[in-house]
Structure 1
């Protein structure tokens, strides 16, 4: 019976840590939901709730790592010059690959771009705030404690497969997720999760995954004006989709449902695969 709970080093097995994390996440909803509703009723802007959501996730993660007698920074938040550098590199990669995917859609005759008369620097800054906390939340959830316990308990590629499928399926309830869009978007989201997981594995830090995630979403939405995972965003540009199949343009879901997003994901995965990494 002891072997069921403890490994050969007499440490609690990783599967039980994952189970504890999931139970605590579920339990935290009973506190998060009334707090969130109370703040909204008091007139708190919706954007401010992104910080609250991330804070609750960080709290659950902190409980788990403290029970393991590890610091919160151990999941990939060793902040400093190296973290900032990798975050910056990741943000550039995310932005560049998103722009590249859109350029390919444009070259294939799938979109026409024009400047939005209502564009503003303030909107770009607001978008950075929103997508920073989206990236922090999703990377801590999908490449944080659970992913790392899966890597330790099985191996990296089992963790990549499991969390990639979970990440893709978590978007199935998003707007315009049906038909061919469901297929292409799910494939791109799975590959995106593998890419982000590989960025973590090469650095053992969440800096680069958070940066890539931020740059990718921000460039698609608040810079280029496309929908991001089915959700509309006003951007610096106003894209007009042309008469091409949705697997070319991405349709109403956004460029993530385009074959070209899959192509750039594969290219960046290949680059990270060749890279030896910068583990501390």
Structure 2
């Protein structure tokens, strides 16, 4: 998977060489990331390409090694699950923003009536859709289904999926202990969504809008990644335990609270779905 990600990211690296070879020649990872960040379409080509590479390897392993179908991977059920996931992810971030805003821990630098749309608004929407599909296909669909097929207990499936998911974010910029704990917790939530609905659609939807509304609507960092929101939010002077500081909302206690609430909302949704 790692090799495939690097190979599929090469077109973006070649494109960056054409427009800003000096950043690659510097040998500095920070210089390269800054250059990528200033070229949103190349960033999408690099990061999105690498993510697609990982997704394709997941599908190939599932088909030829596990010898199972897409339906077995988790692409079953109704698209209503996707819609509810999209709504729940967006609402969770909105609630965190409102709580930070009314308590003075976050300041809005432009007004609600003057959103600042840009190329990043589109490129990161595409990127986070790809990321939502890819990460849920692997960490929930592939890992958990493979473990289930081999007779592992459910609690172990939850733990392994969540811990591996958290460790995969361990090299992100400005990472924090609470951030990794929250990523593990949201991994458990995604796993519960997958088990409760017997489908990947709900965690995919939640994953997409959880990321997108953080970084590209409200302008918070997403797991340490530079934000480009239609609204510009400053957390300077706020309590890092609540805001997550430079790592973003996932490094704060409000994210912990909303992740836990997400479990109860999912439980009610799944229960009503069964009764219907």
TM-score (norm 1): 0.78
The alignment covers a number of residue pairs equal to 245
The 8 Å contact of residues 9 and 49 in structure 2, kept in 1 or not, is answered as no
Which of 46, 52, 55 is the equivalent residue of 1:54?
52
Q: Which residue of 1 aligns with 2:21?
A: none
Q: 1:240-255 maps to which residues of 2 (within 5 A)?
A: 240-255=234-249
C-alpha deviation, 1:239, in angstroms: 0.6
CA distance 1:38–1:201, shift in 2 (3 Å): same
C-alpha deviation, 1:277, in angstroms: 7.0
CA distance 1:69–1:162, shift in 2 (3 Å): closer
Q: Which residue of 1 aligns with 2:224?
A: 230
Q: What does the per-residue CA deviation read over 1:71-126, in whole Å, with 9 as the maximum and x for residues that have no partner?
A: 23320224xxx543211110110000011112122233211113277811654333
- The question of 1:108 aligning with 2:103 is answered yes
The 8 Å contact of residues 168 and 190 in structure 1, kept in 2 or not, is answered as yes
Q: What does the per-residue CA deviation read over 1:16-59, in whole Å, with 9 as the maximum and x for residues that have no partner?
A: xxxxxxxxx35xx1x55345325531568331341453244334
Any idea what SS the aligned residue of 1:237 has? coil
Q: Which residue of 1 aligns with 2:83?
A: 88
RMSD of aligned residue pairs (Cα, Å): 2.5
- The question of 1:99 aligning with 2:72 is answered no
Q: Which residue of 2 aligns with 1:64?
A: 62
Q: Which residue of 2 aligns with 1:125?
A: 122
Any idea what SS the aligned residue of 2:156 has? helix
Distance 1:56 1:187 in 2: 24
Distance 2:179 2:81 in 1: 27
Q: Which residue of 2 aligns with 1:36?
A: 9
Q: 1:9-48 maps to which residues of 2 (within 5 A)?
A: 25=1, 29=3, 32-38=5-11, 40-41=13-14, 45-48=42-45
Q: 1:211-230 maps to which residues of 2 (within 5 A)?
A: 211-230=205-224
C-alpha deviation, 1:278, in angstroms: 4.9
Q: Structure 1 runs of 4+ off > 6 angstroms?
A: none
Distance 2:146 2:62 in 1: 11
Distance 2:272 2:143 in 1: 22
Q: 1:195-210 maps to which residues of 2 (within 5 A)?
A: 195-210=189-204
Q: Which residue of 2 aligns with 1:20?
A: none
Moved more, 101-110 or 62-71: 62-71
Distance 2:228 2:6 in 1: 28
Q: Which residue of 2 aligns with 1:150?
A: 147
Q: Which residue of 1 aligns with 2:30?
A: none
Unmatched segments (≥5 aa) in structure 1: 1-24
The 8 Å contact of residues 77 and 207 in structure 1, kept in 2 or not, is answered as yes
Q: Which residue of 1 aligns with 2:233?
A: 239
Moved more, 148-157 or 201-210: 148-157
Higher relative contact order (CA 8 A, sep 6+): 1
Any idea what SS the aligned residue of 1:144 has? helix
Distance 2:126 2:200 in 1: 18
The 8 Å contact of residues 40 and 46 in structure 1, kept in 2 or not, is answered as no
